[in-house]
Amino acid sequence: MSTIFPESQGLLVLPRLRIQNANAISSPLTHGFPSMTAFLGLMWALERKLCANSIGMAFDSVGVICHDFDEQVTEGGYTKAFRLTRNPVDKDGSTAAIVEEGRIHLDITLVFGVSSETILEEAEARQALADTVADTLAGMRVAGGSIVPMRGADARQGRS
């Protein structure tokens, strides 16, 4: 059986994204990293938002590189437990039952396979497109988590 991979015209690399409070439960039996379907959903949602802004890019694959992670758990000897919150409160203001939601902070790089009718030859045009994609992505959620803006030396290193 042979595997057929999508034929991309290029790659879009989004380096060193910091995601705060992403979902760390990927199935009823596993935890520690978001499900890959969450990243596929991000890819499709980003493509739709870019098309709505008249940017005709088609994403056909996604890769995730995890540089660092911090699962939000308490250490207790041989066992670990999720740090849980009581969200939201009931209608009368009393606390609701705890729903286990495993959370994780991530430092990831996303790599998208891209196909487009427009080929950008100039570096300035490619940089402008990359900035537009980054600005669009900044308002989105990744696996239920928020993208934290990079500051100072980290931002300069990631944008080079």
Give percent of the chain with pLDDT exceeding 70. Answer: 73
* DSSP string across the chain: --------SEEEEEEEEEEEEEE-B-SSS-BSS--HHHHHHHHHHHHHHHHHTT--EEEEEEEEEEEEEEE-EEEETTEEEE-----S--TTSPPPPP----EEEEEEEEEEEEEES----SHHHHHHHHHHHHHHHHTSEETTEEEEPP-HHHHHHHH-
Read off the pLDDT band of 3 (50, 70, 90). low
Contacts with 98 (C-beta within 8 Å, 6 or more apart), sequence order = 84, 85, 86
Residue 33 within any structural domain of the chain = yes
Mind listing the pLDDT tens digit for each residue in 50-77?
Answer: 888 888 888 889 999 999 988 777 777 6
Read off the pLDDT band of 160 (50, 70, 90). very low
CATH number for the domain that contains residue 16: 3.30.70
Instruction: Judge whether 105 and 69 are in contact, CB under 8 Å.
Output: yes
**Averaged pLDDT for residues 34-39:** 90
**Averaged pLDDT for residues 154-158:** 48
The residue to which tokens 């709505």 are assigned: 52
Residue 27 within any structural domain of the chain = yes
Instruction: Specify the pTM.
Output: 0.75
Give percent of the chain with pLDDT exceeding 90. Answer: 19
The number of distinct structural domains making up the chain is 1
Residue 97 within any structural domain of the chain = no
To the nearest 10°, the Cα dihedral for 91, 93, 97, 101?
90
Residue 24 within any structural domain of the chain = yes
Residue with the larger pLDDT of the pair 61 and 152: 61
Residue 122 within any structural domain of the chain = yes
Lowest-confidence region among 96-105, 134-143, 150-159: 150-159
**Averaged pLDDT for residues 4-25:** 83
Residue 91 within any structural domain of the chain = no
What is the spatial distance between Cα 46 and Cα 41, in angstroms, rounded to a whole number?
8
Residue 92 within any structural domain of the chain = no
Residue 23 within any structural domain of the chain = yes
Q: What pLDDT score does 156 carry?
A: 45
Domain boundaries, position 47: 10-71+102-155
Mind listing the pLDDT tens digit for each residue in 80-130?
Answer: 666 555 566 677 777 666 556 778 899 999 999 888 766 667 778 778 888
